[in-house]
Amino acid sequence: MTARVLPRVFLALCLVVLGAGSAPGVGLTEDPLALVPADAATVGVIHWSELRSNPLAAPLFAQMDDVSVGGDGARFLRETGLTPREDIDTMVLAMTRVGSGASGASSDGLVIVEGRFDLVRIAGALTARGAVLRKGASAAYYRLPSENDRRDGAVALVNPHLVIAGSEAAVVAALGRRESGGADGLMAGGGLGKSLPRVNRDASAWALVDLTRFPATQHLELHADVHVDEDGGPSRAIVGAMKSMSLLALQATVHGDALDVSATGVTNDAESRDLLEDSLRGLLAMWRLAIQEKSPDLVSVIRRFRVENDADGVSISGTLPGSFLRSLASNRQASKK
């Protein structure tokens, strides 16, 4: 009897395994960008795993440590065993503008974190703070208690390497995109997804901002004259030019003891592109004049910044040495005392 039954059991198991390959779950995606909605107004990525070993990121991690040394935040980290600077690898932040009217649009936020998480301890800490486990159509998540009439928040403990947080609606939608393989997500090619080629997705940090989703920045009829003077003329001109920009792309890459940075403003208005180019060049000239006596070694740094005007956008890019960044951090700390 046993000799006849075992082959059947083995065959049944094989069919189960083969069947699993064609089950709906095969479409699951855990690419964090695929979980971002295609209609996001902003999306940003920070690769903590690349920053943690670089000395230039030390001030940033020190600020994270300061946040976690006291209060409920510190207790939460102790209860969950989570050490952000060690356990978080990548963080994706996105915001979608929702609603309209006299009071303006509101923001629906989403945070997707990749790393190493103790789900049991995190679930216990959330429950202890009033979170309630909800069964969604795609997956379970914890609904957080609302505070000060804010939109209800939620946290989905997807697996030991992926956590999704944000408004309840945003988290539920992200779980749905995970289930569908990101069918209506950023990687499907819509919205800001079309502009992903404008950034190096391997950069230490990058962001895309759809300026058309922020009506306050969109006044195409406004232009500003360029004046390189002492009262910030170029700065005002840059603000004026930005009013016709449709997209802002930012990125920064840490390598060794330096930081490569770049920013691009996109517009199909040639006048605004010319204005922005002239304004940026004027601002760089002002900076050189301002520091040539106090910090002459930085003049060459500013001179190496490049301003480029192409068919649809204006970019500024350059490299900031570690000495300059440490000086900025020191001055900021001194100003707080």
User: Residue 20 pLDDT more than 90?
Assistant: no
88-98 and 247-255 beta bridge pairing: unpaired
Q: Is the dihedral of CA 64, 66, 71, 75 positive or negative?
A: positive
CB proximity list for 282: less than 8 A, separation 6 or greater: 226, 228, 233, 234, 237
- Contacts of 227 by beta carbon, 8 Å cutoff, 6+ apart: 233, 234, 237
32-41 per-position pLDDT tens digit? 999 999 999 9
Pairing relationship of beta strands 162-167 and 153-159 according to DSSP bridges:
antiparallel
Residue pLDDT, tens place only, 86-102 = 899 999 999 987 554 44
Using pLDDT thresholds of 50, 70 and 90, give the confidence band for residue 8.
very low
Instruction: Report the mean per-residue pLDDT for the chain.
Output: 79
Query: % helix / strand / coil in the chain, to the nearest 5?
Result: 45, 25, 30
The strand order across the sheet containing 132-135 reads 132-135, 140-143, 153-159, 162-167, 106-115, 88-98, 42-47, 205-210, 247-255, 258-266, 313-321, 306-309
Neighbours of 2 (CB within 10 A): 5
How confident is the model over 177-235, as pLDDT tens digits?
999 999 989 999 889 999 999 999 999 999 999 998 876 655 544 443 434 344 555 66
Residue 146 contacts by C-beta under 8 Å, 6 or more apart in sequence?
152, 153
Residues 6+ apart with CB under 8 A from 39: 96, 190, 191
pLDDT value at residue 42: 95
254 touches 57 (CB < 8 A): yes
pLDDT of residue 64: 56
pLDDT digits 0-9 by tens, 103-112? 445 678 999 9
CA–CA separation, 60 vs 74, rounded Å?
Answer: 17
Distance from C-alpha of 43 to C-alpha of 170, rounded to nearest angstrom:
14
Task: Give the max Cα distance, the chain.
Answer: 96
DSSP β-bridge partners for residue 250: 207, 263
With contact defined as beta carbons under 8 Å apart, do 142 and 133 qualify? yes
Which residue's entry shows tokens 């330096």?
Answer: 258
78-82, 156-160, 196-200, 234-238: the lowest-pLDDT one:
234-238
